[in-house]
Amino acid sequence: MKIAVLSRNPKLYSTQRLVDAATQRGHEVHVLDVLRCYMNITSLKPEVHYKGENLTGFDAVIPRIGASVTFYGTAVLRQFEMMNVYPLNESVAISRSRDKLRALQLLSRKGIGLPVTGFAHRPDDVEDLIKMVGGAPLVIKLLEGTQGIGVVLAETTGAAESVIEAFMGMKANILVQEFIKEAGGADIRCLVVGDKVVAAMKRQSKEGEFRSNLHRGGTANLIRITPQERSTAVRAARTMGLNVCGVDLLRSNHGPVVMEVNSSPGLEGIEMATNKDIASMIIEFVEKHAKAGKTKTRGRG
Ligand code: ADP
């Protein structure tokens, strides 16, 4: 097969692994910088061009679109869909999962376990917002944050009020969430491929920190997950419409709760922690499913 990997940097671990796995399995792979792709929007004959060349003959496209290029990246992917190239994850599904509010609303509609969460743009009544999610301690998150930056634990109502007001003063979009203390500074990353969790790792925060991000000094280990956690992760992936994703769970007193569904999960941490060849599993999935025109939405909806 001829496969495109949409990635800004061919040297990234995950990109490299996907390229190696696909090449080993006999495929022709091209890494395309999504920001260097340009397109014509005409009826009937959509094209994507790259460095002066018209891209043709691709059977599948593997999007690895970073959060900061979601808008343009999903437009390029949509164009491939219009050209009948099979996308590992569809543009619509990526957009759904990138919009944190939309993602949580979709998950809640399916009755999937979530931390009690509140959103507000500019509430007249911060006190009521805090009460709505069960009071302090609570977690306040900047919607645009990644790698744990902009995730704050407010231990008292007073602290919560000040932080919420400060973020709002900066016109930042935030969400306010029940603090899952019993998670003990750990979260579980489930890697879903198709309708299976193919690998899971537990990330534990360092001493004195509640955020388990590896970038914040957390450590990752192999973990056995429960059938309930497994089915929660698979249902979350299906709700987003993602074939491959990372589902982050917390172990709460009221069962597993989903924190986030990541449409471009990093492979390094989880391959190291579990010793599994996830890149090859992803390529196998592409081999089984890639057929021309086989996208649910072709960018609609
Ligand atoms: P980011 O997307 O920036 O990594 P997250 O929402 O994943 O932000 O939060 C970072 C970390 O903080 C999580 O991995 C988890 O360990 C911890 N955390 C986030 N939300 C909660 C919560 N509601 N209760 C307990 N811990 C949380």
For 153-173, how does the pLDDT look when each residue is reduced to its tens digit (9 = 90+)?
A: 999 999 999 999 998 888 888
Look at strands 53-54 and 196-204 and give their pairing: unpaired
Per-residue pLDDT at 125: 82
Residue type, 170: M
Q: Tell whether ligand 1 has an atom less than 6 A from the beta carbon of residue 251.
A: no
pLDDT band at 144 (very low <50, low <70, confident <90, very high): confident
What's the CATH number for 117-179? Answer: 3.30.1490.20
- Is 262's C-beta closer than 6 angstroms to any atom of ligand 1? no
The second-level CATH assignment, the architecture, of 2-94+284-289 is 3-Layer(aba) Sandwich (3.40)
Place of tokens 């914040």: 216
Which mutation among 143, 210, 223 tests ligand 1's pocket best, with the greatest number of atoms within 8 A of CB? 210
Q: What is the pLDDT of residues 207-264, one digit of tens each?
A: 989 999 888 889 999 999 999 999 999 999 999 999 999 999 999 999 999 999 999 9
Can you read off the two tokens belonging to residue 3? 């496969």
| HSE-CB of 252 using CA atoms within 13 angstroms | 16
* CATH number for the segment(s) 97-113+182-276: 3.30.470.20
The per-residue pLDDT for 299 is 64
Q: Is 212's C-beta closer than 6 angstroms to any atom of ligand 1?
A: yes
- Output the CA–CA distances (angstroms, integers) from residue 28 to 19, 58, 82, 175, 236, in the order listed: 9, 9, 21, 43, 32
Q: Is 215's C-beta closer than 6 angstroms to any atom of ligand 1?
A: no
CATH 3.30.1490.20 residue spans of the chain: 117-179
Local confidence band at 126 (pLDDT 50, 70, 90 cut-offs): confident
Residue range(s) of every CATH 3.30.470.20 domain in the chain: 97-113+182-276
| Intervals of CATH 3.40.50.20 along the chain | 2-94+284-289
Single-letter amino acid code for the residue at 177: Q
Residues with Cβ within 8 Å of 175's Cβ and at least 6 positions away in sequence, in order, are 100, 101, 104, 117, 118, 119, 140, 141, 143
- C-alpha separations of 39 from 4, 52, 79 in Å: 16, 11, 7
122 half-sphere exposure, CB direction, 13 A CA radius: 5
Check if 210 has its Cβ closer than 6 Å to any atom of ligand 1: yes
